[in-house]
Structure 1
Amino acid sequence: MKVGIIGAGAIGLLFASYIAPTNNVTIYTRKLDQRERLNNEGLLLIRNGHKFNIKVSAEILQNQSIEQLDLLIIAVKQYHLPDLIVQFPSINQAKSILFIQNGMGHIHYLDKLDNDSIHVGVVEHGSMLLSSHAVEHTGIGRTKISPFKGCSSIVSDIITTVESENFPFIFEEDWSQMLTEKLVINSVINPLTSVYRVTNGELLRNNFFFETMKVLFNEVISVLPCKNRELWDRVVEVCDKTSINRSSMLKDLEEGRLTEIDAILGYVLEIGKRKEIDLPITNFLYHSIKGLEKRRG
């Protein structure tokens, strides 16, 4: 199968490292030096101290370079999606497309696409970008996938060739509930680790941080349609499985990049405003992250 990946960060390279051994993978990158390293040196995956060198193809992201694909995986940050969809209409040529973004602010962009099959996914793995061609799998989790439009046959066929104990998949019927549950997890872990400047696991080890986690969790689920009564246990589980990780939001702040706070807590605050529910801790964390963004660089 032909698989393309747009977004050559930690998650994009992690997916490529597991898909490429059994499929024809092309990574689309904006940087020439990254393309050269991936083509010349291959993709390096590190897991549990073991190194795996994987052959992939890499191309500069240009509209004319996006070929017809069986599956196109979009692994860019959510705030890059509007420009990507406008600037690269050839993504419509892919038979199936999978979006793996945090938050839920990107959903309305998906209706603008003509692809016959569109899926959304949430990633619970821990990963760390070590260089432009190397990624470390720091925490084994799951990838949940749900159809947004069309059938799942192509995605299912590819996943069959990829799935393993180190990279498992789960298919969900209700994409809205799936994304909502991931939004709750991101809303609790990412902002707190970013403000406290700690790894995910420190939220569990520090009793004071842990109490704040509970308060924030209760605020967030008070406005979101969560049906999973065990969701708090999932928050704790993800925190534990990725305990050595620094959250993506914290890494964005540390490296002077914009975060996805608008797509996460910004979305929660918007829902709270519609329902006329006050969310003081959520509001404090949202504005704290926005302030840290403004100070970046």
Structure 2
Amino acid sequence: MPPVDNRPSPFNSESQSLSDNGPIECLIICTKAHHTELAIKDISHRLTKDSTICLVHNGMGVLDSINQNVFPDPNNRPHYIQAVFSHGLGRNDSFKISHLGVGTTILSPVGAPNIPPTSPEADHTWAPSTKYLLRLLTLTPPLVAVADTPAGLLQYQLEKLAVNCVINPLTALSDCTNGEILYSFSFTRVMRLLLFEISAVICALPELQGIPGIEDRFSPERLRRLVVNIASNTAKNHSSMQQDINQRRLTEIEYFNGWIVRRGEELGIKCALNYMIKHLVAAKAATHRSREAGAIPLDLDNVISTNEPPI
């Protein structure tokens, strides 16, 4: 699991009315992956086993972290809906978002049987709050939202993960736009090698075994075409990870390439390049922070004291 961030929460719950202590039936969380757990923890006392939380974030592994650190008792956990969101958004200010491009929203309850959400069986399977929130979101035209099975949603999540594992770190490390990674032979070689590892891990996931067409859908070549398509369509954009690095914010690398590395270890698949990319991004972020803080080097073995002449 990614390390828990113990820093103060960026969400100011004190700004809410003191009377806002009643139970929350439906909650939608649209934050960075590493902020999701903190956002939920602040109001966990208002969430019950009858509540439903809709998680809208990039990356993988967030739900496991929430269950482990916020709701460790399975009998008292809320219900979850996960979403894959492809609309274009821009943050203007706190609580002010611009809708920059129309996409789609794919939703699925977590832990439900792999039955279509619109089937009659779903009415007897999901909590009332889950059914209400699914219906509300799918009937909101601007969201272009559809419901899918958990297995179907997982495949969309993994496709988006593969794209993010390439575009985000490469643009962050090189400080370039999304489209610029398509015009360098060196970039394309790194892209292919990353995707070979990512494809191997995804195709070996136990959650996907028995689903027809997985090896074709997640082949390195098809994933490469997805990356090229997204990079071309967003050629002038700066990735979120590049912006996070430049603005000295935490990145989501642990939930992108870091997740691939961890799952690869569980499956006996070595992901050396993803491991290197993960640490290069972390190192670049740390370098920016240390420059501003005037940090002391961690390795002092070869640092010459200013009080002694060089040997």
TM over 0.5: yes
- 2:145 maps to 169
SS of 1:102 mapped into structure 2: coil
Q: 2:180 aligns with which of 202, 207, 227?
A: 202
**Alpha carbons of structure 1 residues 30 and 241: separation in structure 2 relative to 1, 3 Å:** same
The reply on whether 1:145 has 2:121 as its aligned counterpart is no
In structure 2, the residue matched to 1:159 is: 137
- Residue 83 of structure 2 is matched in structure 1 by 121
Determine whether 1:76 maps to 2:31. yes
Q: Are residue 251 (structure 1) and residue 243 (structure 2) matched?
A: yes
Range with greater deviation from structure 2 (285-294 or 92-101): 92-101
Match among 203, 208, 225 for residue 233 of structure 1: 225
* 1:286 to partner: Cα distance: 0.8
Q: Structure 1 residue 108 and structure 2 residue 64: aligned?
A: yes
5+ long unaligned stretches in structure 2: 1-9, 112-125, 209-213, 290-311
Q: Distance in 2 between matches of 1:70 and 1:240?
A: 41
Partner amino acid, structure 1, of 2:26: L
Q: Which residue of 2 aligns with 1:285?
A: 277
Q: Indicate the larger mover: 207-216 or 109-118.
A: 109-118
Sequence identity percentage = 26
TM-score by length of 2: 0.66
Distance 1:169 1:204 in 2: 31
Letter in 1 for 2:145: F
Bigger Cα Rg: 2
Alignment root-mean-square deviation, CA: 3.0
Q: CA deviation at 1:255?
A: 0.8
The amino acid that maps onto 1:73 is: I
Shift of 1:156: 3.0
Paired letter, 1:275: L
- 2:138–2:144 Cα contact (<8 Å) kept: no
C-alpha spacing 1:130/1:87, structure 2 compared with 1 (3 Å): closer
| Residue aligned with 1:30, SS | coil
Greater strand share, 1 or 2?
A: 1
What is the DSSP-based 3-state SS (H/G/I as helix, E as strand, rest coil) of the residue aligned with 1:239?
Answer: helix
CA offset at residue 268 of structure 1? 1.0
- For these two proteins, the number of residue pairs brought into alignment is 241
Question: What pairs up with 1:3-42 in 2 under 5 angstroms?
Answer: 30=11
TM-score (ref. length: structure 1): 0.69
1:134-154 Cα distance to aligned partner (Å, 9 max, x none): 433344332222210435522
